[in-house]
Amino acid sequence: MITTLSGDTSRLRAAVDFVKEQDTTTLLPLLLPGLDGPELRALVERCRFSHAALLVFPSDETELTELLAGCGLVADAPPWPSVVVRERLAARHRRPVAELDVGILRPAVTGADGAKRVVEVFALAVPPGSGLEEVAAYERERQHEAHVAFDVSVPDPLVLRGLCAAFGRYGAVPDGGGYNPHENGTVFYFATSAEAKAGYGRVELYAPGDYRDILAAHLDAHRARQPSEALLRLLTGAWTTQALAAFARLGVADALDTERGTGVEEIAAAVGARPRNLATLLRYLAMVGAVAETHDGFRLTEIGGLLRTGAAGSMRALALMYGGPFYQSFAGLGHTVRTGEVAFEHHFGENHFDHFARDPELAALFDQSMAAGAAMFDPVPAHPAFTAAADGATVVDIAGGNGELLGRVLTAHPRLNGILLERPHAVEAARHRMAQAGHADRCAFRAGDFADVPEGGDIYVLSRVLHDWDDDRCREILRHCARAMPDHADLLVVERVLPTDGSPSLATAWDLHMMCNVGGRERQAAHYARLFADAGLELAGRSPLPLEGHVLHVRKAAAVR
């Protein structure tokens, strides 16, 4: 077993020679046996051989520079932090990420075909006495991080999915990956089949940009091959909920910057926390993408930014609800499945509407959490029912919360007026919000229940209301709407709709939440259509929204008009 730096030198020289000798067209069939003809040409058009990579173990930066020079390489920039390799090493050796100082260098190499490529050098600093010598010896022997890489020429989602599928057809299987915020790039790793003849057992596809949505499916496929790890990750999902809720509750997101890193001691002083404990929380949140670790400390990512107080599209209230009352009641999910009793009512002794209404702070938090999914509402004001409405038409928002959606509609359509129907405490919050938005003179407010739906409106809105109730109560609500609606009126129902093919969906997750905490349910489109028909209404159309929502366009049934 090679345990000295000379072993790194010989491996690095071999990598340099490999990069000089290979090209995309000859290398792909060696890695993916059987690949030829049109499919080979298609892959060559969409990705190119960019580098070979290996992990070396200098004691410091000076020794790293000497190692590169001995192989004819010159680094044109200092190493920048690795995210993917460092996390892989931490998981493999059960070491804290902070102990593993892994940098990336990419010295240039010119191929025999004249193409400009690089050798990607991951460098784990192993200072004498650091206790990392065993890690270095293990990694030198097994070469887990050695791989060849291809850059995706046109990194759009369709191309990425097609490349991943093509690799799979020729024996390559998902082997991890990650997103590196330091360079805004997404990495997809594959393990090649035993028949591959390139001398490398791993392949990387590198796409500049943030493609974590596609990466998630890739990583799921990787974990599916390791059931015990997959199960552990599922079982620790509750830890993520509480970590994000604590992050929001402590105001850590408000104390972080999105551009520069902030030291743990400074953050801890700002939020009143113990530095060591806060560092543990932040390292976990870096793993799930809410923060990023830098040389200077931690900075806020785009995901973490949604937990800031008062930020545009803030989901802080949602984190506090899911990490608070709903988290407590979810412990009774088994009771709900066994008995049919709503777990929230079993835990708190009353339904969630009554429980929140008795606590002004909790009621405000709940209304804010409902508005936190506002991204779902973005396209709603552009619905034809609003754009085609006559000047002075009235939009009636039934159980409209704090007025988030109605406010958006009135902002987009200054010629329309609004009426918001809600419980008394929520009406006051909505009145304040509408005044701030400048809509006080165009919006009326009604305190009441579904039996009090105002008559004579032109467009009625039921946004995320029906999923709170069982079928009988939904029919009753819809009959109140039908009674109040003139023949020409439209009813827009905003809900998540369950898929009919069993495909993964947020609606499926919310179906469980509604059953456990509210006593309601999500439904398929055909189920909603039956409920509408029972109330003398008919489903006239359906259009998708963000966050897997839908607008169901409902009119009075022809026989009823």
How far CA 160 is from CA of 43, 63, 110, 171, 221, in Å, comes to 11, 38, 27, 17, 15
Q: Can 467 be counted among the known catalytic residues?
A: yes
HEC letters along 74-128: CCCCCCEECCHHHHHHHHHHCCCHHHCCEEEECCEEECCCCCEEEEEEEEECCCC
- CA dist 245 and 322 (Å) reads 8
Pairing between β-strand 202-208 and β-strand 147-152 as defined by DSSP bridges: parallel
What phi and psi, each to the nearest 5 degrees, are found at residue 481? -65, -45
* DSSP result, 229-279: HHHHHHHTHHHHHHHHHHHHHTTHHHH--SSS-B-HHHHHHHHT--HHHHH
Positions of E strands within 448-526 = 459-463, 490-496
Residue 339 DSSP label? H
Q: Which of 352, 355, 467, 553 is catalytic?
A: 467
Give the pair of three-digit tokens for residue 422: 């809600």
- CA dist 16 and 53 (Å) reads 9
Show the CA angle centred on residue 457, arms to residues 451 and 458, nearest 5°.
135
Give the pair of three-digit tokens for residue 468: 């709170």
Tell me which residue of 525, 542, 395, 509 sits closest to 462, measured CA to CA: 395
> What residues are labeled active site?
467
